[in-house]
């Protein structure tokens, strides 16, 4: 869909961005010491830190990706919400206290506290950089996805704008400004999503949705007798030749020469939408040149219930429970897609209607990502189990989350801020199910882009709300990206340069090298964001969790609970966990399909999510290498197990 530029959104965003940059410069003059730059001097109030946890964690993927996945496929997107939140249990109960006790600025500090090993420092720093980069990609892709409807600029402009703003924020005042950006963003995001959910409950569900101005959304025809379409005056049915042969479609050309595509369902036909990319790059939408002018067409917004309980047309206001049960008992038109390569080199994507009962999409296994949980084969279920394990174990291994524990003064504050974080994040994830299902029936979805579902839902309610939500979503990207760049710059300046390479630096030089590192990581993030434009952001975050959990969790846990752990064991576990999970991902069916454009059937590894294999592998390597290397000196253990 082509989205009109919303100047209110631009103004709101400029206001947010201007405010955070202003705060950064104001604070930058005061964050000169290394402790001030990396950990905000350890003096952040626990409540601010708790909301900043939410601001750091609720990334573009959480917000755009999960809502989009629920809006397009139903309950399966909510599985990510559950997994992302459950991960905080590992962080709070297992990792937070010892990490805070053992470390100073980075997570490598904590791992290395007992051993003072250069190997651990190097491995931990590289793992921090790899995880941060993998996590950065979906954030930057999300920024690009947002800027198109906001400004009408291409994807790369969004990526560059976010990259520049964030790098400025981090390079000026480090953790201090990062904290305030995350605090502002976390509170805005949760409050706004709660407000939208309340509006959704008042609106209820309808089979004839309207836009924000009260105009009825055009409903594409479904279950029409074939003769009504094929025998219409002036219409010609095109023969099923070439790539269309054997496909379940009927192509009908009208008197003006415009071709529309219908999907066969027995003797009935349903209207499909098509987007054709011609060899010269021009695009056709539903058979006409794509655009908003005369003689041009665009894909129509979709997303509506086709049957509501009791056969009503409109439910009226609902409460949260009746909203869920209404969705379970309704039938909604979801959309599938199919690609057809024409003989002249053009590529047509057909988007077709899939009437789906709520009993189906409100249970696990309705999306392509998790459909295998409904398979009878045990092996098919491993992908799902592996992802849920990665989400559970990944949160507590994400370097940009871990460094937040160094910004509060003591253990009690660390615990309190985690509880505040869990409350804010948990509340937000509960809202994602309502937002996603609301978007599913909002009549505003862009069939080509699931990531736009939440902002478009807001647009269906109110134009101003869309503007504010888009601006907040953009700020969402700023908050998470600043945390990631902060973690990466700490890994370079503190772990690699000061501790591994033993470069003698005073406080001022150390802060300066961290700022230069932040600039470099920012530039890299911009490049990656442009390269990975087409990937689903939520899936990419799943990968980052896999790598973080496989590389970092075995080392963190065993260091705390097994006294026989040696420095060689830790270094080996991080290295093997990181390489194995990264390698597995790059050889998976999903990478074949989305990254290389190859046939996923040829992928070497049997499923796409490696955690179920690579986390145990990390533990195994750590145990074996530790047993093969000399016992660590009898220094008092850091934690009583």
Partner 1 sequence: MASLDFKTPVIREQEDAMVVAHNTRIGLVLFAIYVVFYGGFMALSAFWPEVMRKPFAGGANLAVVYGFALIAAALVLALVYMRLCRKSK
Tell the smallest beta-carbon distance from residue 617 to partner 1 (Å). 20
The yes or no reply on residue 359 touching partner 1 (CB under 8 A) is yes
Which residues pair with residue 275 across a beta bridge? 285, 349
Stretch that binds partner 1, among 8-16, 300-308, 428-436, 506-514 (CB under 8 A): 428-436
The yes or no reply on residue 379 touching partner 1 (CB under 8 A) is no
The yes or no reply on residue 613 touching partner 1 (CB under 8 A) is no
Tell the smallest beta-carbon distance from residue 83 to partner 1 (Å). 9
Nearer to partner 1, 306 or 325 (CB): 325
Strands, E assignment, 467-624: none
Nearest alpha carbon to residue 55 among 69, 44, 41, 43: 44
Tell the smallest beta-carbon distance from residue 198 to partner 1 (Å). 18
Nearer to partner 1, 45 or 118 (CB): 45
The yes or no reply on residue 381 touching partner 1 (CB under 8 A) is yes
Tell the smallest beta-carbon distance from residue 414 to partner 1 (Å). 10
The yes or no reply on residue 220 touching partner 1 (CB under 8 A) is no
Stretch that binds partner 1, among 218-226, 257-265, 427-435, 486-494 (CB under 8 A): 427-435
Tally the residues of the chain.
Answer: 641
Residue of the chain from 422, 452, 473, 617 that contacts partner 1 (CB under 8 A): 422
Residue of the chain from 4, 191, 412, 503 that contacts partner 1 (CB under 8 A): 412
What is the C-alpha end-to-end distance of the chain, expressed in Å? Answer: 57
Nearest alpha carbon to residue 131 among 389, 401, 384: 401
Nearer to partner 1, 179 or 588 (CB): 179
Stretch that binds partner 1, among 158-166, 265-273, 425-433, 451-459 (CB under 8 A): 425-433
Nearer to partner 1, 386 or 614 (CB): 386
Q: Using H for helix, E for strand and C for coil, what is the string for 328-396?
A: HCCEEEEEEEEEEECCCCCEEEEEEEEEEEHHHHCCCCCCCCCHHHHCCCCHHHHHHHHHHHHHHHHHH
Residue of the chain from 16, 105, 352, 429 that contacts partner 1 (CB under 8 A): 429
Both tokens of 239, joined, read 């023969």
Residue 630 backbone class (left: φ over 0; alpha: ψ -120 to 50; beta: rest): beta
Residue in this structure with the two tokens 């439910």, named with its chain if needed: 315
Stretch that binds partner 1, among 324-332, 586-594, 597-605, 615-623 (CB under 8 A): 324-332
How far from chain centre, in Å, is Cα 357? 27
Tell the smallest beta-carbon distance from residue 69 to partner 1 (Å). 14
Sign, Cα dihedral of 312, 314, 319, 323: positive
Which residues pair with residue 206 across a beta bridge? 314
- Burial annotation 45-59 (CB, 10 A radius, 16+ → b, else e): bbebbbbbbbbbbbb
- Is residue 218 within 8 Å of 194, Cβ to Cβ? no
Nearest alpha carbon to residue 550 among 113, 82, 123, 58: 123
The yes or no reply on residue 419 touching partner 1 (CB under 8 A) is yes
In order of 105, 391, 405, 408, the CA distances from 415 in angstroms are 18, 21, 9, 10
Q: Phi and psi dihedrals of 389, rounded to 5?
A: -70, -40
> How many residues of this chain interact with partner 1, rule: CB under 8 A?
66
Greatest alpha-carbon span in the chain: 91
Stretch that binds partner 1, among 45-53, 196-204, 548-556, 594-602 (CB under 8 A): 45-53
Q: Parallel, antiparallel, or unpaired: how do β-strands 268-271 and 273-277 relate? A: unpaired
The yes or no reply on residue 147 touching partner 1 (CB under 8 A) is no
Binding mask 78-117 for partner 1 (x = CB under 8 A): xx-xx--xx-xxx-xxx--xx--x----------------
Neighbours of 322 (CB within 10 A): 15
Residue of the chain from 392, 500, 584, 592 that contacts partner 1 (CB under 8 A): 392
Question: Within 177-196, which residues bind partner 1 (CB under 8 A)?
Answer: 179-180
Tell the smallest beta-carbon distance from residue 365 to partner 1 (Å). 5
The yes or no reply on residue 34 touching partner 1 (CB under 8 A) is no
Residue of the chain from 197, 315, 418, 453 that contacts partner 1 (CB under 8 A): 418
Residues lying near partner 1 in the complex (CB under 8 A): 27, 30-31, 36, 40-45, 47-48, 75, 78-79, 81-82, 85-86, 88-90, 92-94, 97-98, 101, 176, 179-180, 321, 324-325, 328, 359, 362-365, 373-374, 381, 384-385, 388-389, 392, 407, 409-412, 415-416, 418-419, 422-423, 426, 429-430, 433, 639-641
């Amino acid at each position: 869909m082509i989205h009109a530029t919303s100047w209110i959104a631009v103004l709101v965003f400029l206001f947010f961005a201007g405010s955070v940059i202003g705060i950064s410069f104001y604070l930058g003059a005061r964050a000169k010491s290394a402790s001030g730059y990396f950990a905000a001097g350890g003096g952040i109030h626990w409540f601010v830190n708790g909301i900043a946890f939410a601001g750091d964690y609720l990334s573009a993927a959480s917000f755009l990706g999960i809502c989009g996945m629920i809006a397009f496929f139903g309950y399966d997107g909510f599985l990510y919400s559950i997994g992302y939140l459950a991960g905080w249990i590992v962080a709070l109960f297992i990792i937070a206290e010892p990490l805070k006790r053992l470390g100073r600025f980075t997570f490598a500090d904590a791992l290395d506290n007992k051993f003072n090993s250069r190997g651990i420092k190097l491995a931990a720093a590289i793992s921090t950089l790899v995880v941060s980069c993998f996590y950065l990609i979906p954030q930057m892709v999300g920024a690009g996805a947002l800027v198109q409807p906001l400004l009408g600029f291409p994807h790369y402009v969004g990526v560059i704008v976010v990259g520049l703003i964030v790098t400025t924020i981090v390079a000026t005042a480090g953790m201090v400004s990062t904290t305030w950006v995350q605090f502002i963003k976390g509170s805005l995001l949760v409050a706004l999503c709660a407000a939208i959910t309340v509006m959704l409950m008042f609106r209820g569900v309808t089979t004839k949705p309207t836009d924000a101005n009260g105009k009825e959304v055009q409903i594409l025809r479904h279950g029409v007798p074939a003769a009504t379409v094929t025998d219409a005056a002036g219409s010609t049915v095109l023969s099923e030749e070439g790539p269309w042969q054997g496909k379940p479609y009927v192509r009908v050309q009208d008197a003006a020469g415009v071709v529309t595509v219908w999907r066969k369902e027995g003797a009935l036909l349903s209207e499909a939408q098509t987007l054709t990319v011609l060899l010269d790059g021009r695009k056709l939408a539903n058979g006409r040149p794509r655009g908003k002018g005369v003689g041009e067409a665009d894909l129509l917004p979709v997303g509506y219930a086709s049957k509501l309980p009791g056969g009503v047309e409109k439910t009226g206001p609902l409460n949260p429970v009746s909203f869920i049960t209404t969705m379970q008992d309704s039938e909604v038109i979801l959309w599938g897609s199919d690609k057809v390569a024409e003989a002249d080199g053009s590529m047509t994507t057909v988007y077709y209607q899939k009437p789906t009962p709520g009993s189906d999409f409100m249970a696990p296994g309705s999306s392509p990502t998790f459909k295998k949980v409904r398979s009878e084969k045990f092996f098919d279920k491993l992908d799902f189990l592996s992802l849920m394990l990665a989400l559970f174990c990944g949160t507590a291994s994400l370097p940009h989350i871990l460094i937040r524990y160094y910004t509060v003064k003591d253990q009690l504050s660390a615990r309190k801020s985690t509880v505040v974080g869990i409350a804010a994040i948990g509340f937000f994830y509960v809202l994602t199910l309502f937002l996603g299902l609301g978007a599913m029936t909002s009549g505003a979805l862009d069939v080509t882009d699931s990531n736009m579902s939440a902002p478009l839902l807001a647009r269906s309610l109110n134009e101003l709300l869309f503007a504010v939500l888009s601006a907040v979503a953009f700020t969402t990207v700023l908050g998470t990206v600043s945390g990631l760049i902060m973690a990466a710059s700490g890994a370079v300046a503190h772990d690699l340069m000061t501790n591994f390479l033993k470069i003698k630096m005073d406080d001022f030089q150390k802060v300066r090298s961290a700022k230069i590192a932040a600039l470099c990581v920012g530039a890299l993030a911009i490049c990656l964001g442009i390269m990975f434009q087409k990937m689903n952001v939520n899936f990419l975050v799943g990968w980052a969790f896999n790598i973080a959990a496989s590389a970092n969790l075995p080392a963190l846990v065993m260091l705390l609970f097994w006294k026989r752990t040696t420095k060689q064991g830790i270094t080996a576990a991080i290295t093997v966990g990181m390489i194995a999970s990264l390698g597995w991902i790059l050889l998976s069916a999903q990478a074949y399909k989305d990254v290389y454009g190859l046939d996923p059937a040829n992928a070497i590894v049997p499923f796409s999510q490696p955690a179920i294999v690579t986390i145990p592998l990390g533990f195994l390597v750590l145990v074996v290498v530790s047993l093969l290397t000399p016992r660590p000196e009898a220094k008092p253990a850091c934690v009583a197990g």
